[in-house]
């Protein structure tokens, strides 16, 4: 797991946005925190506690990865938290994490890219999937991201084809 944290952090150096996921590393060991200069953490898990509350700044969002979870408040809240951290002097580095690193953390990162980089959902989703192949917001989160994109830009750019047999989607169709 350590190498994936480092390599994914390196990929995102351009934006100084660092994301890492996995229940086995809810907020990563302090040595990685020191080496990667993480200053802020978005903890999007239901049960994983903030590992370093005395040394890192946290946004604690207790989000479930299911069809009932409402992200209406979480998307702009996480987006603003990430943006504030990145604009701090000196610039912060943000770790966004959930249990598997596929759905909740991806949805929050996509919201940030749309709101503060002014990227369409399609552009942000393709960009994030190039860097984190397992990126896959659940269908409920994708629907909410489409609504968020419409609120931000007046329309949406992703028209996903839902695969009902496995409750997934293909955003490129």
Which residues are the active-site residues?
98
Q: Could you tell me the strand order of the sheet in which 94-97 lies?
A: 57-60, 40-43, 94-97
Element (H, E) at 152: helix 139-153
The CB-based long-range contact list for 147-156 (8 Å cut-off, 24+ gap) reads 148/71, 148/75, 148/111, 148/114, 148/121, 149/114, 149/120, 149/121, 152/114, 152/115, 153/114, 153/120, 156/120, 156/121
Q: For residue 77, with 0-12 CB atoms within 10 Å meaning exposed, 13-18 middle and 19 or more buried, which class applies?
A: middle
């Amino acid at each position: 797991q350590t190498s994936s944290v480092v390599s994914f952090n390196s990929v995102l150096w351009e934006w100084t946005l660092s994301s890492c996921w996995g229940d086995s590393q809810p907020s990563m060991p302090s040595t990685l925190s020191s080496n990667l200069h993480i200053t802020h953490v978005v903890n999007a898990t239901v049960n994983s506690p903030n590992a370093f509350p005395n040394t890192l700044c946290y946004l604690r969002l207790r989000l479930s990865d299911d069809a009932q979870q409402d992200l209406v408040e979480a998307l702009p809240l996480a987006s603003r938290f990430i943006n504030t951290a990145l604009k701090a002097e000196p610039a912060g580095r943000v770790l966004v994490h959930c249990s598997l690193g596929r759905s909740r953390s991806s949805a929050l990162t996509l919201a940030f890219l749309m709101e503060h980089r002014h990227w369409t959902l399609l552009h942000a989703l393709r960009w994030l999937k190039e860097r984190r192949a397992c990126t896959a917001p659940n269908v409920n989160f994708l629907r909410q991201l489409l609504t968020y994109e419409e609120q931000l830009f007046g329309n949406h750019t992703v028209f996903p084809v839902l695969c009902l047999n496995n409750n997934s989607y293909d955003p490129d169709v």
